[in-house]
Amino acid sequence: AQTVTQSQPEMSVQEAETVTLSCTYDTSESDYYLFWYKQPPSRQMILVIRQEAYKQQNATENRFSVNFQKAAKSFSLKISDSQLGDAAMYFCAYRSAGGSNYKLTFGKGTLLTVNP
């Protein structure tokens, strides 16, 4: 079974600065998808960014980018120019590309605080 590990329970960053959230995963599969979800205090789960394992290029969405290291099984999220609205719980998630159920396996989350 796949596992996802987020080793930083909490992180903090100053507004306008850059922060990197870490995620590692364990899998024997070669094809899969990785996701970062954001959960603000409203509790709504919001997809931030996704990465297909077969793509070498790191995904980018505006101020959010990932550093995907397939051999190291590492998938970190970089938030540039941090804003107060980025304060949230962030979850890393894994999904197999094979199979027929599209299940997600989540890490335990990293709580990000943004200081003004």
Partner 1 sequence: NAGVTQTPKFRVLKTGQSMTLLCAQDMNHEYMYWYRQDPGMGLRLIHYSVGEGTTAKGEVPDGYNVSRLKKQNFLLGLESAAPSQTSVYFCASTDPGQGYEQYFGPGTRLTVT
Interface residues with partner 1 (CB under 8 A) are 4, 6, 9, 33, 35, 42-45, 47, 50, 91, 95, 100-109
Shortest Cβ distance from residue 52 to partner 1 (Å)? 8
The C-alpha atoms of residue 25 and residue 4 are separated, in whole angstroms, by: 4
Nearest CA-CA partner of 91 in 9, 17, 1: 9
- Max CA separation in the chain (angstroms): 45
If the CB atoms of residues 17 and 39 are measured against partner 1, the closer one turns out to be 39
If the CB atoms of residues 26 and 81 are measured against partner 1, the closer one turns out to be 26
